[in-house]
Structure 1
Amino acid sequence: MTPAIRQLKKAKIKHQVYEYEHDPRAESYGTEAADVMGFNPAQVFKTLLAELDDGRLVVAMVPVSGQLDLKALAKAAGARKAHMAPVEAAERATGYRVGGISPLGQKKRLAKWIDQSAAQFDLIYVSGGRRGLELALAPDDLCQQAPAQWADIARL
């Protein structure tokens, strides 16, 4: 059981766990999850880490059908610029491996934003904390548990 699942169970948040066989040759972990599980790619959210110009690491959740808008994330975070965080920094801060970074149960408490597009769905899917493991939960529950703020941070 991953820290993400433990957090949801402890908080008694309604969720579902989905597992699939991860293909190490997959080019995109989130797209692989959507394809293999038959989920709508607009409902599957990837968890990305960015570094702001002031050195802070922040978390962004955007649909796998889109891309993170780094300028929009920087603006939401009150910074001028943002760039993708180095893999080592992302893994150290979250306690998860890239491709399996969950927005829940992270080692460090980082500021988080979720793209506004998630609000249109009853359920969204996020990484459960390892490659091949997805969690389904209500977007509002994710925002409360992460905790995360809403923002328009994706280019769809």
Structure 2
Amino acid sequence: MAKKKEEKTNVMRVLEQQGIPYTPHTYPADGPIDGVSVAGYLGQDVEQVFKTLVTKGASGSYYVFDVPVAENLDLKKAAKAVGEKSIAMIHQKELLPLTGYVHGGCSPVGMKKQFPTVFHETVVLFDTICVSAGKIGAQVEVPPQALLDLLGATTADIVVEG
């Protein structure tokens, strides 16, 4: 019996090329689904599943922020973390041409261009975290330090206080 071939995403290929161990996860991609639902479907803690948000600073530079799926990005804190006067979320229609990813499938790994990336400071508290594998319906679970090193990412307190 032939083994079903796993469909590799660009994210998975980059991780393999860099020797970073990962565990692929899938979830049903039919219909709208939010990050909290994805975490639940995967049986993961919402604090360990990160969403990737792309912003543009007052200077015109782009920045990537990864925060736990149940949290919201604090734009003032995010701007401070990257030394910008202010930042704003990019428009959804700009995402694919800029990053190569669609809304709901954006990953910090393997974008068309590597932008300065900041993870919420809690990322280092876990042995593994999940980020998008680069398409809706797929996630990769990776050691956070390996991801930070790969991306040259920093950490900061960048979420809205509840």
Q: Same fold (TM over 0.5)?
A: yes
Structure in which a larger fraction of residues adopt strand? 1
Q: Quote how far apart the aligned CAs of 1:152 are.
A: 1.1
What SS is found at the alignment partner of 2:108? coil
Q: TM-score, normalised by structure 2?
A: 0.91
Which letter maps to 2:15?
L
1:117 equivalent in alignment to 2:122:
yes
Tell me which residue corresponds to 2:18.
11
Q: Which amino acid aligns with 1:116?
A: E
Tell me the residue number matched to 2:155.
Answer: 150
- The question of whether the paired residues in 2 share the 8 Å contact of 1:3 and 1:106 is answered with no
Which residue does 1:25 correspond to in 2?
32
State which of 136, 142, 159 in structure 2 corresponds to 1:137. Answer: 142
Tell which structure's C-alpha radius of gyration is larger. Answer: 2
The code of the aligned residue for 1:23 comes to D
> How far did residue 130 of structure 1 move?
0.4
Q: What's 1:103 paired with?
A: 108
Aligned residue for 2:147, secondary structure, equals helix
Structure 2 letter corresponding to 1:16: T
Residues 147 and 93 of structure 1, relative CA distance in 2, 3 Å threshold? farther
**Identical-pair percentage:** 34
Look up the SS of the partner of 1:67 in the other structure.
coil
1:58 to 2:73 alignment: no
Q: 5+ residue gaps in structure 1?
A: none
Q: Retained in 2: the 8 A contact 1:15–1:137?
A: yes
Match of 2:9 in 1: 2
Quote the offset at 1:20 in angstroms: 1.4
State the TM-score, normalized to the length of structure 1.
0.94
Query: What is the RMSD of the two structures over their aligned residues, measured on CA atoms?
Result: 1.1
What secondary structure sits across from 1:80 in the alignment? coil
Would you identify which runs of 4 or more consecutive aligned residues in structure 1 move more than 2 Å?
A: none
